[in-house]
Amino acid sequence: MSSAPNGTPMPVLEDLDQVVALLRESEPGEELYVRWSRGPAVDLRGAERVQSSRDALTGIELPGLSANPLAVEDWWGRRPLRLWVARRLYDYCHLRELRGPGVQPWVLVGEQRGRGPDNEPLVHVHRPVAWVSERALREADRAVEEQGSTEWGPLHRAD
């Protein structure tokens, strides 16, 4: 068991292939998500373990934590699972800079409770699973960049 820089003890998925393997080996019906934050120790703190995000525009409390699903959509077809996972990690990579030190991706098993203002799933965490390493993120960046698309990038509002 390793811990992230913020000290939350969880296993670390050391490379992109380990993230892919986690998705492949997940139990049927188990919903895996990636969340960019300071980790479960921060997100799930408190006696009631209230799990909510806030809308940055209005400040309203949302009925779950913002997360990005790892589940593969049917339309993806037989395309590489590695590229799917890379894309899911890449989508919100800007949050490291936006939200400050200690923010990194972690995988969780959860249940969707609604949709946020950017149409992102709002989830209730059943179980934190693992941190995603910087190496895995670099590999995800490379996999996306190798696609050569000039019309696609992270889901960053400020750009």
157 falls within a domain = no
Please give the pLDDT value at position 7. Answer: 55
Average of pLDDT values for 18-44? 93
- How far is Cα 111 from Cα 33, in angstroms, rounded to an integer? 9
Please give the pLDDT value at position 105. Answer: 95
Please give the pLDDT value at position 57. Answer: 84
34 falls within a domain = yes
Domain count of the chain?
A: 1
101 falls within a domain = yes
Is residue 3's pLDDT more than 70?
no
49 falls within a domain = yes
> On the CB side of 100, how many CA atoms lie within 13 Å of its CA?
2
Please give the pLDDT value at position 75. Answer: 96
Q: Which residue bears the tokens 């077809």?
A: 77
Residue 83 belongs to domain spanning: 9-145
73 falls within a domain = yes
Please give the pLDDT value at position 9. Answer: 81
3 falls within a domain = no
**pTM summary value:** 0.85
- How far is Cα 97 from Cα 130, in angstroms, rounded to an integer? 21
106 falls within a domain = yes
62 falls within a domain = yes
Which one has a higher pLDDT value, 155 or 60?
60
For the segment 96-137, what is each residue's pLDDT rounded down to a tens digit? 666 667 889 999 999 999 998 888 899 999 999 999 999 999
Predicted confidence band of residue 1 (pLDDT cuts 50, 70, 90): very low
